């Protein structure tokens, strides 16, 4: 029992240390995401994505980078958007968002940020081509019939809710207005409510693995002693580790740092990060949203696209000599000290407190209770 308690305490301690290291970046990322969502009208998204043309895919990718919800992809598809464009939007909404890049930069390094965004664009292109090949009109109609059944997923109310204020003056005026402050605070808190479980699980799993799994195991598992073999198996194994760990979005980053230090290839890290859209909870949501057959197609196509994109990124960054040679990802500090991280955390905790206070004072708790309930197809307008 004492051995188990010690292991648990060590894992929790490492998880807390990792959480402290990235806290300011998380707050900054969610605050910036709230600002962007406050000036982007979700109601226009479905009309901007009528087909799977290059223009629609580019728009879908840009809109996805300014949003963050799998359920929102279902919502815009239900309102008439093209299925493939909706999937491109969905991928961008989890892999090309600001907060992910900030956390990657803090924990692993700028090279991984560049690879994540470059690889993300490559994967969107591959995903589009592959989905065009397998999603014929019959399967799209099958998915649409399943969508019309309205089976619940996660954070349905948040996905359908439209609180943007895009038609009320300049962008700066909208952001700095009392209404803009309120909308940003609501998006900030609701995004935290949507993703905090994934972040906590990611930190706990990464802490446990970092504390208990010996380095030799990772090196053997990822074929670290064989440079070529490691590059070959990394993008294939990375998504499998993600599926088993079942952690989504930003919650994957601490574990990615552990895997990088353990010996997985550069491309393997990128494939692992991409795989947050085929983890078990998301696959179950696909099944409910689009049906089992389409869910399995999304699994197969996504896995192939993310592995191939990771190989391409590994090759490009290797030729450009941008792959880090040292495996020194910042996972934990020995103890909390009065360094720049602590000061940044205190500053951004103050910002978070201000946003939460505004949220509580402007009807936020009532709206929060609606987030896991389906809402009408018409977006909920915030007044």
pLDDT in tens, 210-246: 777 777 888 888 888 888 999 999 999 988 888 776 6
pLDDT for position 37: 73
- Stretch 357-363: mean pLDDT: 91
Q: CB burial class (10 A; 0-12, 13-18, 19+) of residue 304?
A: middle
Of the two residues 229 and 197, the one the predictor is more confident about is: 229
Whether the Cβ atoms of residue 327 and residue 109 lie closer than 8 Å to each other: no
| pLDDT tens digits, 43-67 | 566 677 777 788 888 877 877 765 5
pLDDT for position 154: 53
Share of the chain above pLDDT 90, in %: 23
Examine the pLDDT at 171 and tell me if it is beyond 80.
no
Of the two residues 356 and 196, the one the predictor is more confident about is: 356
Which of 93-107, 120-134, 175-189 comes out lowest in average pLDDT? 93-107
- Stretch 160-189: mean pLDDT: 76
CA-wise closest residue to 239 among 280, 204, 207, 202: 280
Residue with tokens 């940003």: 184
**Residue 378: what are its φ and ψ, rounded to 5°?**
-70, 135
Angle at the Cα of 70 from the Cα atoms of 65 and 74, rounded to 5 degrees: 110
Examine the pLDDT at 321 and tell me if it is beyond 70.
yes
pLDDT for position 10: 75
Split at pLDDT 50, 70, 90, the class of 18 is confident
Of the two residues 136 and 242, the one the predictor is more confident about is: 136
| pLDDT tens digits, 267-294 | 999 999 888 788 777 788 788 888 899 9
pLDDT for position 164: 65
CA distance 285 to 202: 19
Structure tokens at 21: 């290291």
- Stretch 167-187: mean pLDDT: 80
- Stretch 354-366: mean pLDDT: 90
Whether the Cβ atoms of residue 306 and residue 279 lie closer than 8 Å to each other: no
Of the two residues 143 and 40, the one the predictor is more confident about is: 143
pLDDT for position 126: 94
Of the two residues 151 and 12, the one the predictor is more confident about is: 12
Examine the pLDDT at 314 and tell me if it is beyond 50.
yes
Split at pLDDT 50, 70, 90, the class of 334 is very low
Which of 20-24, 224-228, 262-266 comes out lowest in average pLDDT? 20-24
Contacts of 106 (CB under 8 A, 6+ apart): 21, 22, 25, 330
| DSSP letter, residue 249 | G
CA-wise closest residue to 52 among 11, 82, 87: 82
CA-wise closest residue to 29 among 250, 257, 264: 250
Mean pLDDT score of the chain, rounded to an integer?
80
pLDDT for position 313: 95
92-106, 123-137, 154-168: which is most confident: 123-137
Angle at the Cα of 236 from the Cα atoms of 252 and 105, rounded to 5 degrees: 35
Of the two residues 2 and 380, the one the predictor is more confident about is: 2
| Ordered DSSP codes for 83-144 | HHHHHHHHHHHHHS-HHHHHHHHHHT-HHHHHHHHHHHHHHHHHHHHHHHHH--HHHHHHHH
Angle at the Cα of 189 from the Cα atoms of 202 and 185, rounded to 5 degrees: 145
Examine the pLDDT at 336 and tell me if it is beyond 70.
no
Of the two residues 40 and 96, the one the predictor is more confident about is: 96
pLDDT for position 167: 63
Structure tokens at 176: 């700095």
pLDDT for position 153: 52
Measured CA distances, 166 to 35, 77, 170, 305 (Å): 11, 22, 9, 35
pLDDT for position 359: 93
Whether the Cβ atoms of residue 96 and residue 118 lie closer than 8 Å to each other: no
pLDDT for position 306: 93
């Amino acid at each position: 029992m004492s051995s188990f308690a010690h292991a648990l305490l060590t894992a929790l301690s490492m998880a807390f240390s990792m959480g402290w290291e990235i806290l300011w970046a998380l707050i900054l990322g969610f605050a910036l995401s709230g600002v962007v969502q406050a000036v982007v009208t979700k109601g226009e998204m479905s009309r901007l994505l009528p087909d799977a043309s290059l223009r629609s895919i580019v728009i879908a990718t840009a809109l996805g980078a300014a949003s963050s919800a799998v359920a929102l992809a279902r919502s815009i598809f239900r309102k008439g958007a093209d299925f493939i464009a909706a999937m491109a939007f969905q991928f961008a909404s989890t892999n090309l968002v600001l907060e992910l890049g900030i956390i990657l930069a803090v924990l692993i390094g700028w090279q991984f940020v560049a690879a994540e965004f470059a690889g993300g664009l490559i994967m969107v292109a591959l995903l589009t081509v592959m989905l065009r090949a397998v999603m014929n009109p019959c399967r799209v109609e099958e998915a649409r019939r399943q969508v019309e059944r309205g089976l619940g997923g996660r954070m349905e109310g948040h996905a359908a809710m439209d609180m943007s204020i895009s038609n009320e003056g300049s962008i700066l005026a909208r952001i700095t207005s009392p209404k803009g402050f309120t909308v940003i605070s609501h998006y900030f808190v609701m995004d935290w409510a949507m993703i905090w479980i994934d972040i906590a699980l990611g930190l706990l799993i990464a802490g446990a693995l970092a504390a208990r799994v010996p380095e030799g195991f990772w090196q053997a598992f990822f074929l670290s002693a064989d440079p070529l073999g490691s590059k070959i198996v990394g993008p294939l194994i990375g998504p499998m580790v993600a599926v088993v760990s079942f952690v989504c979005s930003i919650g994957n980053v601490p574990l990615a740092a552990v895997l990088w230090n353990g010996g997985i290839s550069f491309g393997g890290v990128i494939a692992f990060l991409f795989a947050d859209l085929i983890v078990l909870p998301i696959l179950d949501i696909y099944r409910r949203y689009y049906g089992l057959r389409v869910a399995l197609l999304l699994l197969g196509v996504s896995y192939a696209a993310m592995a191939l994109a990771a190989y391409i990124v590994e090759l490009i960054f290797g030729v450009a000599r941008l792959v880090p040679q040292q495996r020194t990802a910042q996972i934990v500090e020995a103890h909390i000290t009065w360094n720049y991280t602590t000061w940044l955390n205190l500053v951004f905790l103050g910002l978070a407190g201000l946003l939460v206070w505004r949220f509580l004072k402007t009807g936020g708790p009532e709206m929060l209770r609606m987030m896991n309930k389906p809402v009408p197809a018409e977006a909920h307008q915030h007044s």
